[in-house]
Amino acid sequence: MTTLMLELPLPVEQSELELKKMCVAKLYEEGVMSPGQGATMLGMAYRDFVDEFGFYFRMTPEELDKEMEILNQVVDMDAVYQRMAAWTSKYA
């Protein structure tokens, strides 16, 4: 991965985080980065990124499959489904 460091004077009305979000949103909108990469760059959870930048969310079915494959490697979905089933039967 290539790293780019920019030193820019910050406008008074915008924080560093707001400027990072603007840059990430544009890179995401242009298809340069995935939602997972954007979330990582901003230090956000994937779901929070999707909630905040959902209006840019234009994934093809193939891109969505790839993101879900990555997510499934990180999260043990079988364990999640088992917990949900146990909780549902307990409180049903």
44-53: pLDDT as tens digits: 988 888 888 7
For residue 23, name the pLDDT band (cuts at 50, 70, 90): confident
For residue 13, name the pLDDT band (cuts at 50, 70, 90): confident
Kind and range of the H or E element at 81? helix 77-91
pTM over 0.75? The answer is no
pLDDT at 4: 74
For residue 56, name the pLDDT band (cuts at 50, 70, 90): low
Whether the per-residue pLDDT at 65 is higher than 70: the answer is: yes
**How many helices (H) does the chain have, and how many strands (E)?**
5, 0
Task: Report the chain's mean pLDDT, rounded to a whole number.
Answer: 78
First and final CA of the chain: distance in angstroms? 49
DSSP type of residue 32: S
